[in-house]
Amino acid sequence: MSTATLNVTTVKADFPLLGREVNGHPIVYLDSGATSQKPRQVLDALDRYYEEINANIHRGAYLIAEKATTAVEDSRAALAGFVGASAAEEIVFTKNATESINLVAHSWGRTNLSEGDVILLTTLEHHANIVPWQQLAAERGVVIRWIPLDDDGRLDLTDLDQLLDGVRLVAVSAASNVLGTLPPVRRIADAAHAVGALCLVDASQWVPHYPTNVADWDCDFMVFTGHKMCGPTGIGLLWGRRHLLDAMPPFMGGGSMIQNVTFEGFTPADVPTRFEAGTQPIAEIVGLRAAVDYLNAIGMEAIRQHELDLTAYAMRTLTERFGDDLAIHGPHDLENRGGTLSLAYRGIHPHDLSQVLDQHGICVRAGHHCAKPLMKVLGVNATARASLYLYNDESDVDALADGLAAAGDFFAF
């Protein structure tokens, strides 16, 4: 892995969309928490796939079908390496993080959980890591409990032991998509294991930004989504411990996921094929591999350091310029947070704020960020969220600050 520092000018130039203008201004893209932009390297990989080796996989004995199959399995191996999995077979391709969690909820959850079993979530989860469990709860009488937050937006683990009573699964985000909070995943996984529970990590907001190692977390399932880490949309991933995946029934039935089908029934294929029913998003799998290669070439450690420096700069700049007029939700110490900045500014509604920022070419997200329970805890309906990534630099932060000042002038009353 490269230990060099990240050259943001070079990186920015890799992303064609970042060269465009919006509303007469060079675009300032601060919504990577929703989806990242894509580097030329990924876009080229998609083109090359369709132009050179497009064929359905695991089915043809001809050259390009073999090449396509190899490209998919190479991608699986590359992703296994990227997240520290011990074998490529532990990597299941899905559509996105949402599907990965639904897969676990349906397959593992409906096999192993029954009335009165407890699932422990945290109050900062994305709806993707809430609703599938609520569906299971409604269907099976499973109980959901919540780890609360402290006043700084970190998990309050004071009562963790009591909360873990009767728990079969703890599902926690490695990084909050609203507050930037970085929950102590290893500590939670250890505590879960101590009571015989499993731990699922939603790493959607982690994997794009930090080195990832499922062995260090010692978790049991881990999910993320490709489009937030420079990859295409439509491709996500589930990692699970091999013995858990082996014991799980298929999620969706259809082509590819079987060993045999007769008039009487079917025998499912081995993992991971068992969970990959139907024609896969082959180009996207290849594109995701290109994203992994791209990030690895820069180095996840270098990306982490760049974002840490930029987040420090952003928090300093915004605090110095706006003082008490501006509040940043979530932890303020940089060890406990990433570059996701949810802002409240002079009582201006986030929707109005983002509208004014848009006029300056600045893309931020306004809304509940698919975390309505968390909004309730924060006592707001919405926040304006700026999220930083490897291609952002100080000029983007300065533009945001100027945009906020303009919004303040416009709505000054």
Partner 1 sequence: MAGLEDLYREVILDHYRSPRNRGELETPPAIMAEGFNPLCGDEIQVYLLVEDGVIAEIRIGGQGCSISQSSASMMSAAVLGRTPDGAREVLRSFKEMMSIHEHGLDGEPISTDDQPGASGLGDLEALRGVVKFPVRIKCATLGWNTLDQVLDQTGT
Ligand X SMILES: Cc1ncc(COP(=O)(O)O)c(C=O)c1O
Binding site for ligand X (CB under 6 A): 96-98, 126, 128-129, 173, 177, 202, 204-205, 225, 236, 370
Decide which of partner 1, ligand X, none touches 352; Cβ closer than 5 to 8 Å per partner kind: partner 1
> Near partner 1 by CB under 8 A, which window of 230-238, 289-297, 319-327, 349-357?
349-357
Asked if the bond preceding 183 is cis, omega within 30° of 0, the reply is no
Q: Which of 325, 349, 398, 405 binds partner 1 (CB under 8 A)?
A: 349
Q: Which is nearer to ligand X, 129 or 342 (CB)?
A: 129
Q: Is 411 an interacting residue with respect to partner 1 (CB under 8 A)? A: yes
Contacts of 352 (CB under 8 A, 6+ apart): 407, 411
Please check whether residue 226 is in contact with residue 284, taking contact to mean a CB–CB distance below 8 angstroms.
yes
Query: Measured between alpha carbons, how far is residue 269 from residues 125, 182, 255, 258, 393 in Å?
Result: 33, 37, 10, 4, 47
Q: Residues 6 or more apart from 265 whose CB is under 8 A from it?
A: none
Helix, strand, coil percentages (3-state) for the chain, rounded to 5, are 45, 20, 35
Q: Which residue from 366, 386, 388, 390 is in contact with partner 1, where contact means CB under 8 A?
A: 366
The catalytic residue positions are 370
Q: Which does 187 bind (CB under 5 to 8 A by kind): ligand X, partner 1, none?
A: none
- In angstroms, what is the minimal distance from the CB of 217 to ligand X? 15
Give CA–CA dist 343/345, Å, rounded. 6
Number of residues lying near partner 1 (CB under 8 A): 19
Min separation Cβ 408 and ligand X, Å: 28
Instruction: Report the residue number, 68 or 285, with the smaller CB distance to ligand X.
Output: 285
Please return the burial class of 134, using the count of CB atoms within 10 Å of its CB with bins 0-12, 13-18 and 19+.
middle
Could you tell me which stretch among 170-178, 183-191, 230-238, 355-363 binds partner 1 (CB under 8 A)?
355-363
134 binds partner 1 (CB under 8 A): no
Q: Confirm or reject binding of residue 382 to partner 1 (CB under 8 A).
A: yes
Contact partner, 332, from partner 1, ligand X, none, Cβ < 5-8 Å per class: none
The alpha helices in 264-393, defined as continuous H runs, are: 282-298, 300-322, 350-359, 372-378
Pick the piece of the chain touching partner 1 (CB under 8 A) from 46-54, 94-102, 118-126, 352-360.
352-360
Sole binder of partner 1 in the list 39, 368, 403, 404 (CB under 8 A): 368
Distance CA 46, CA 284 (A): 7
Q: Give the pair of three-digit tokens for residue 273.
A: 């094929």
Binders of partner 1 among 16-55, rule CB under 8 A? 23-24
413 in contact with partner 1 (CB under 8 A):
yes
The residue type of 359 is: Q
Cβ at position 219, least distance to ligand X in Å: 15
Q: How many CB atoms lie within 10 A of CB 34?
A: 17
Among 54, 134, 296, 355, binds partner 1 (CB under 8 A): 355
- Smallest separation, CB 373 to partner 1 (Å): 11
Q: Find the shortest distance in angstroms from Cβ 34 to partner 1.
A: 13
The CA-CA-CA angle for residues 356, 357, 363, to 5°, reads 135
Would residue 218 be called left, alpha or beta, if left means φ above 0 and alpha means ψ between -120 and 50 degrees?
left
Residues 302, 2 contacting (CB under 8 angstroms): yes
**Is the CB of residue 46 less than 8 Å from the CB of residue 287?**
yes
Shortest CB 74 distance to ligand X, Å: 23
To partner 1, the closest distance from the beta carbon of 367 in angstroms equals 4
Nearer CB in complex with partner 1: 185/366: 366
- Give the interface with partner 1 as residue ranges (CB under 8 A): 23-24, 349-352, 355-356, 359, 366-368, 372, 375, 381-382, 410-411, 413
